[in-house]
């Protein structure tokens, strides 16, 4: 792959070859190349009816036609009570879209807090039918799924085959087994034929198993006396051109499901009482916003900050490119937190120990205080990289980082008429290959501020790439229009900075012209990257959550669960996750609060019955299972010096039933409820029998 830093001037068709000719400029030289295919990476535009929608719902759009939001209110429209998330407020990727969606839900929830749980009616199920010791009586329900299955698989033939299998006392076919009338029919047949096991051959259990489990529970059966055969994804879809073979395979899948169903046992869901208090670790903008969102919805919050004051990096910003005042915002939020009776502040302290699991955590702080809580929000922030020894930093008082420069500007301590900014200091290098995302826009903010105060000031930005993405591109254009000079350098030929008799001299090769440029600024500003906050590596194992190789906290899934950890009940926001702008941090902080509320808005949690279990008579305490558990649900207890007394203990509140520990156990002491060895072996035996005539 060849990367060319340029903008294509034109794409034209070669009349002879019919290929595409691209004209562009590289290193100051015009070039033309021929390609067989050109892919256009296009931008996003507002929805076609955005203007009409805004007029009807009475909220404002910005100059680009997207929904207008504020730097400190990224999920709020201009009209109170109407919230926004996703690309309608600005072009963004999936992780921030999902996080903001949760954030918008939190804001909406705040508006209706007083009505929470007032419309809930607890569902009452009939008493479970005792099936222990009884001969299996299986009902099989086979789905056409319209033409998804029925267009390929001979469903009537599969149904007739199912009737011939052992322990099947009833079998039928349905056009859509998931329909409401089909669900009622299943409940009727359970009672009519005294069924104590149910097999449904249809689509995927990922989406439909809970529906069918609920149906048989309503009929009086334990929800786990149910098995599915996926004859859509695993059969009709992948064998759509082989109907006979697909029908034979569908019979085999039904036979396998039936073999397992005969050995199914009733399982119980674990009921966990929930402590409805919350712990927020970190008092920067993300931690403060999360704490306030929770507190406004009636949750008692412990907000822990290692410094003696709230604010974190927000105290060092001073300026935003939008013109909003972060100092005033900090003052406002600080006052709100101190005035909120639901928030208990713990300043100048850190977490010493934390134990427990979702709904039931216990934490001790370094100041000796202890608290119990149901969830944790990790918002410990990040820190600006201090480039000691680079570019004369620490050796010349006029060389400073971007945040230090902004602080001096705020105090009126910046003097001179010539300024140089060097981008990507400590970022996009071998030791730290990531882009810190916020530095380029931060430089545009400072450069424009300089030009506003002194239009004649000479401002130079030395860069590898300018990454002012989204609406922030206008700040880059603004800087260029005000006369800021941009000089691109190669990452293999970084600028050289020397002290010439107390004066700063910067030399570099301009990549666009190939010529050496020498600058002698009054002030050199290093746009240094963002690093994880100190203490993150110590906090992560306490919480049983992972961090990246760079030291940032690692979410459960980048796109689907961007504010969750794999460990239930623990959530993530702000710079602790990765470098982000203040609006992104606030949106994610609201999202983390929303996700936390899904736990602590309840008095109890009901976990699934399909989890791992330990046979302590067989367990030899080898410990192989403990490190392979992604959810940190296994602990080896006992005397390390007496192996025969060591045993694995499973925290049922944390176990997600993935089965990894069961597969890893060399002694067979671990087994998976709902997927026991005899059940799986029965399925394998049924698969090897053949049949499907």
Tell me the C-alpha distance between 473 and 89, whole Å. 16
Q: What is the pLDDT of residue 5?
A: 83
Assign 643 a pLDDT band (cuts: 50, 70, 90).
Answer: low
Tell me the C-alpha distance between 578 and 436, whole Å. 8
Distances (CA, A) of 207 to 178, 211, 232, 660: 11, 8, 13, 22
Assign 692 a pLDDT band (cuts: 50, 70, 90).
Answer: very low
pLDDT one-digit tens code per residue, 525-578: 999 999 999 999 999 999 999 999 999 999 999 999 999 999 999 999 999 999
Q: Would you say 255 and 140 are in contact if contact means Cβ atoms under 8 Å apart? A: no
Assign 111 a pLDDT band (cuts: 50, 70, 90).
Answer: very high
Q: Would you say 667 and 619 are in contact if contact means Cβ atoms under 8 Å apart? A: yes
**Spacing of C-alpha 141 from chain mean position:** 38
Q: Which two tokens stand for residue 146?
A: 């319209």
State the Cα torsion 60-65-66-72 to the nearest 10°: -60
In 3D space, the residue among 679, 682, 666, 678 whose CA is nearest the CA of residue 623 turns out to be 666
Q: What is the pLDDT of residue 603?
A: 92
Looking at the predicted structure, is the pLDDT value of residue 28 above 80? no
Q: What is the largest CA-CA distance in the chain?
A: 98
Looking at CATH, the fold of the domain delimited by 612-672 is given as Alpha-Beta Plaits (3.30.70)
Q: Would you say 202 and 216 are in contact if contact means Cβ atoms under 8 Å apart? A: no
Bridge partner list, 228: 200
Q: Which two tokens stand for residue 279?
A: 């712990």
Query: DSSP code of 564?
Result: B
β strands within 100-195, DSSP E? 138-143, 168-174
Looking at the predicted structure, is the pLDDT value of residue 166 above 90? yes
Residues 662-687 as b/e (b if ≥16 CB within 10 A, e otherwise) read beebeeebbbbbbebeebeebbeebe
For the segment 357-368, the average pLDDT, to the nearest whole number, is: 96
- 277-383+532-604 in CATH: which number? 3.50.50.60
Tell me the C-alpha distance between 252 and 229, whole Å. 9
Distances (CA, A) of 12 to 17, 362, 628, 681: 12, 66, 56, 63
For the segment 636-644, the average pLDDT, to the nearest whole number, is: 76
Q: Which residues contact 181 (CB under 8 A, 6 or more apart)?
A: none
pLDDT one-digit tens code per residue, 579-620: 999 999 999 999 999 999 999 999 999 988 999 999 999 999
Give the length of the chain: 693
Q: What is the pLDDT of residue 459?
A: 98
Burial of 68 (0-12, 13-18, 19+ CB in 10 A): middle
H/E stretch holding 57 reads helix 50-57
Tell me the C-alpha distance between 106 and 293, whole Å. 7
Q: Would you say 575 and 437 are in contact if contact means Cβ atoms under 8 Å apart? A: no
Q: Which two tokens stand for residue 2?
A: 């060849």
Assign 25 a pLDDT band (cuts: 50, 70, 90).
Answer: confident
Tell me the C-alpha distance between 462 and 420, whole Å. 7
**How many of the other CB atoms lie within 10 Å of CB of 98?**
21
Q: What is the pLDDT of residue 693?
A: 39
Q: Would you say 61 and 68 are in contact if contact means Cβ atoms under 8 Å apart? A: yes
Asked: is 138-263 a CATH 1.10.3430 domain? The reply is no
Tell me the C-alpha distance between 168 and 261, whole Å. 11
Instruction: Pick the range with the lowest mean pLDDT from 166-170, 312-316, 472-476, 638-642.
Output: 638-642
Tell me the C-alpha distance between 153 and 58, whole Å. 53
Distances (CA, A) of 7 to 31, 46, 153, 437: 11, 24, 53, 21
pLDDT one-digit tens code per residue, 271-296: 999 999 999 999 999 999 999 999 99
Q: Would you say 79 and 89 are in contact if contact means Cβ atoms under 8 Å apart? A: no
Q: Would you say 8 and 24 are in contact if contact means Cβ atoms under 8 Å apart? A: yes
pLDDT averaged over every residue in the chain: 94
Q: Would you say 602 and 596 are in contact if contact means Cβ atoms under 8 Å apart? A: no
Q: Which residues contact 47 (CB under 8 A, 6 or more apart)?
A: 53, 88
Q: Would you say 406 and 318 are in contact if contact means Cβ atoms under 8 Å apart? A: yes
Q: Answer yes or no: same fold for 277-383+532-604 and 384-529.
A: yes
In 3D space, the residue among 300, 319, 296 whose CA is nearest the CA of residue 116 turns out to be 296
Q: Which residues contact 520 (CB under 8 A, 6 or more apart)?
A: 418, 500, 503, 504, 505, 506
pLDDT one-digit tens code per residue, 490-539: 989 999 999 998 899 999 999 888 899 999 999 999 999 999 999 999 99
Looking at the predicted structure, is the pLDDT value of residue 86 above 90? yes
Q: How many CA atoms lie within 13 A of 690 on its CB side?
A: 1
Long-range contacts of 631-636 (CB under 8 A, 24+ apart): 631/566, 631/567, 631/568, 631/655, 631/656, 631/658, 632/544, 632/567, 634/661
pTM over 0.75: yes
Tell me the C-alpha distance between 276 and 288, whole Å. 19
Task: Give the residue extent of every domain in the chain.
Answer: 138-263, 277-383+532-604, 384-529, 612-672
Q: What is the pLDDT of residue 131?
A: 94
Q: In percent, how much of the chain has pLDDT > 70?
A: 99
CA torsion through residues 10, 13, 16, 22, sign: positive
Tell me the C-alpha distance between 126 and 208, whole Å. 22
Looking at the predicted structure, is the pLDDT value of residue 640 above 80? no
In 3D space, the residue among 584, 567, 462, 548 whose CA is nearest the CA of residue 89 turns out to be 584
pLDDT one-digit tens code per residue, 128-161: 999 999 999 999 999 999 999 999 999 999 999 9
Q: What is the pLDDT of residue 690?
A: 63
**How many of the other CB atoms lie within 10 Å of CB of 482?**
15
pLDDT one-digit tens code per residue, 657-690: 999 999 999 999 999 999 999 999 999 999 998 6
Q: Would you say 425 and 452 are in contact if contact means Cβ atoms under 8 Å apart? A: no
* Backbone torsions φ then ψ of 67, nearest 5 degrees: -65, 130
Q: Which two tokens stand for residue 317?
A: 């910003």
Tell me the C-alpha distance between 109 and 33, whole Å. 56
In terms of CATH architecture, what is 384-529?
3-Layer(bba) Sandwich (3.50)
Looking at the predicted structure, is the pLDDT value of residue 261 above 90? yes
Q: Which two tokens stand for residue 148?
A: 């998804």
Q: What is the pLDDT of residue 120?
A: 82
Q: Would you say 326 and 314 are in contact if contact means Cβ atoms under 8 Å apart? A: yes
């Amino acid at each position: 792959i060849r990367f060319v830093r340029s903008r294509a001037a034109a794409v034209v068709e070669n009349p002879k070859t019919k290929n595409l000719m691209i004209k562009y400029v590289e290193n100051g030289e015009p070039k033309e190349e021929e390609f067989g295919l050109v892919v256009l990476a296009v931008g996003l535009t507002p929805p076609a009816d955005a203007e009409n929608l805004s007029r009807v719902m009475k909220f404002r759009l910005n100059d680009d036609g997207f929904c207008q939001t504020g730097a400190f209110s990224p999920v709020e429209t201009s009209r109170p009570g109407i919230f926004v998330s996703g690309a309608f407020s600005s072009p963004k990727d999936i992780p921030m879209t999902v996080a903001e969606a949760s954030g918008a839900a939190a804001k909406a929830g705040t508006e209706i807090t007083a009505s929470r749980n007032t419309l809930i009616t607890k569902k009452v199920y009939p008493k479970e039918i005792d099936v222990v010791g009884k001969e299996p009586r299986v009902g099989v329900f086979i789905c056409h799924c319209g033409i998804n299955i029925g267009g390929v698989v001979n469903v009537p033939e599969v149904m007739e085959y199912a009737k011939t299998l052992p322990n099947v006392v009833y079998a039928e076919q349905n056009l859509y087994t998931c329909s409401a009338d089909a669900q009622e029919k299943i409940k009727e047949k359970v009672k009519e034929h005294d069924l104590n096991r149910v097999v449904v051959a249809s689509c995927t259990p990922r989406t439909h198993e809970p529906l069918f489990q609920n149906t048989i529970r309503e009929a009086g059966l334990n929800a786990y006396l149910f098995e599915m055969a996926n004859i859509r994804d695993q059969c009709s879809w992948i064998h759509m051109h082989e109907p006979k073979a697909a029908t034979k395979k569908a019979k085999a899948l039904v036979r396998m499901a039936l073999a397992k169903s005969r050995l199914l046992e009733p399982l119980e869901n674990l009921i966990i009482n929930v402590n409805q208090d919350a712990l927020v670790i970190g008092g920067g903008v993300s931690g403060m916003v999360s704490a306030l969102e929770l507190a406004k919805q009636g949750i008692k919050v412990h907000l822990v900050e290692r410094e003696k004051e709230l604010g974190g990096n927000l105290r060092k910003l001073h300026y935003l490119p939008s013109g909003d005042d972060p100092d005033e915002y900090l003052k406002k939020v600080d006052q709100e937190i101190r005035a909120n009776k639901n928030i208990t502040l713990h300043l100048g302290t850190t977490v010493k120990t934390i134990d427990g699991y979702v709904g039931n955590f216990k934490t001790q702080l370094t100041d000796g205080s202890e608290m119990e809580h149901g969830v944790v929000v990790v918002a410990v922030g990040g820190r600006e990289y201090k480039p000691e020894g680079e570019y004369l930093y620490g050796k010349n008082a006029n060389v400073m980082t971007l945040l230090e420069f902004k602080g001096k500007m705020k105090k009126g301590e910046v003097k001179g008429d010539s300024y140089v900014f060097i981008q990507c200091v400590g970022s996009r290098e071998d030791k730290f290959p990531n882009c810190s995302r916020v530095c380029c826009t931060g430089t545009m903010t400072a450069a424009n501020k300089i030009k506003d105060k002194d239009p004649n000031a000479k401002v130079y930005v030395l860069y590898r790439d300018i990454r002012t993405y989204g609406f922030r591109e206008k700040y880059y254009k603004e800087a260029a229009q005000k006369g800021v000079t941009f000089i691109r350098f190669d990452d293999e030929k970084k600028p050289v900075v020397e002290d010439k008799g107390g004066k700063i001299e910067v030399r570099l090769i301009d990549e666009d012209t190939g010529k050496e440029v020498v600058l002698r600024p009054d002030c050199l500003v290093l746009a240094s990257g963002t690093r994880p906050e100190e203490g993150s590596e110590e906090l992560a194992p306490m919480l049983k959550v992972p961090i990246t190789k760079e030291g940032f906290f690692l979410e459960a899934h980048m796109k689907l669960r961007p504010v969750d950890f794999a460990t239930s009940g623990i959530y993530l926001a702000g710079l602790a996750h990765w470098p982000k702008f203040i609006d992104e941090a606030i949106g994610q902080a609201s999202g983390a609060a929303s996700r936390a509320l899904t736990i602590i808005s309840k008095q109890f949690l009901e976990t699934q019955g399909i989890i791992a279990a330990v046979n302590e008579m067989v367990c030899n305490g080898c410990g192989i299972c403990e490190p392979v558990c992604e959810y940190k649900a296994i602990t080896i207890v006992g005397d390390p010096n007496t192996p025969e007394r060591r045993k694995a203990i499973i925290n049922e509140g944390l176990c997600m039933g993935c089965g990894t520990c069961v597969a890893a156990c060399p002694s067979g002491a671990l087994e998976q409820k709902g997927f026991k060895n005899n059940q799986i072996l029965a399925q394998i035996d049924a698969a090897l029998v053949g049949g499907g005539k």
